[in-house]
Amino acid sequence: DGGITQSPKYLFRKEGQNVTLSCEQNLNHDAMYWYRQDPGQGLRLIYYSQIVNDFQKGDIAEGYSVSREKKESFPLTVTSAQKNPTAFYLCASSIDSSDQPQHFGDGTRLSIL
Amino acid sequence: GQNIDQPTEMTATEGAIVQINCTYQTSGFNGLFWYQQHAGEAPTFLSYNVLDGLEEKGRFSSFLSRSKGYSYLLLKELQMKDSASYLCAALSNTGFQKLVFGTGTRLLVSP
């Protein structure tokens, strides 16, 4: 079945460590997105990519980095510069970056030890 | 600016009808999405409105008034499994089509 796979489901990070969250899709979608979800707040856009080998900062990109070397993959690295990384991270994709609905993965919950 | 408002929480009874409202102020508005999200899971797409009016999909309907900056999601014949958060998201075209999400409305359906 086609879909979006995020791994791991739960991730723990020590202070000062970088961690990478995986996002893979087999929907042949051009556009991919990373969001952060915190209690009492709406989803906030971290980075997006409209096409392979291209990506742009979203509203809260500081302390994060991404790559888009393959169409199906859009990993997110949470660096030590992100001072409040504990959150639920959601990856999404859409056919293109027009008005097509975004489809979401099951998320990764990141916690700081 | 970008602002989406929806109630934080609502309760309803199994078999009833509930309406979840959403107001928005979004530059470059280009449509309104509704998503359902069960706790700890992925949001799933419910509906998309770009023109004024009502769109019906089975037990779920969504309405949009662009002049009033207002949308609602109507859920009929409520079932226990409808207990979830409902996310309103406005599509904003400011050089890139971006979704601006509200905080979500948590709906609790009781027997």
Interchain pair A106, B41: CB under 8 A: yes
Residues of A in contact with B100 (CB under 8 A): 42
Q: Are A9 and A22 in contact (CB under 8 A)?
A: no
- Could you read off the pLDDT of A41-78 as tens digits, one per residue? 889 999 999 999 999 999 999 999 999 999 999 999 99
The full DSSP string for A65-92 is EE--SBTTB--EEE-TT-S---EEEEEE
Q: Give the C-alpha separation, B103 to B61, whole Å.
A: 20
Q: Where are the beta strands (DSSP E) in chain B?
A: 2-5, 9-13, 18-26, 29-37, 44-49, 53-57, 60-65, 70-75, 84-93, 97-101, 105-110
A28-44: average pLDDT: 93
A27-40: average pLDDT: 94
Interchain pair A99, B48: CB under 8 A: yes
Interchain pair B97, A99: CB under 8 A: yes
Residues of A in contact with B1 (CB under 8 A): none
The alpha-carbon gap from B42 to the nearest alpha carbon of chain A, in Å, equals: 4
Interchain pair B45, A102: CB under 8 A: yes
Query: How many beta-carbon contacts under 8 Å exist across A and B?
Result: 54
* Whether pLDDT at A97 is above 80: no
Residues of B in contact with A109 (CB under 8 A): 40
Which tops the pLDDT comparison, A1 or B92? B92
pLDDT band for position A15 (50/70/90)?
confident
The alpha-carbon gap from A15 to the nearest alpha carbon of chain B, in Å, equals: 24
* φ and ψ of A75, to 5 deg: -75, 145
Which residue carries 């709906």 as its tokens? B107
Query: What is the rounded average pLDDT for all residues in chain A?
Result: 93
Residue B97: its pLDDT value, please?
A: 80
A63 DSSP 8-state letter: T
Q: Is the dihedral of CA A77, A81, A82, A86 positive or negative?
A: positive
Cis amide prior to B7 (ω within 30 degrees): no
Q: Are B91 and B29 in contact (CB under 8 A)?
A: yes
Residue B1: its pLDDT value, please?
A: 66
Residues of A in contact with B44 (CB under 8 A): 104
Nearest CA to B102 out of B91, A87, B111, A111 is that of: B91
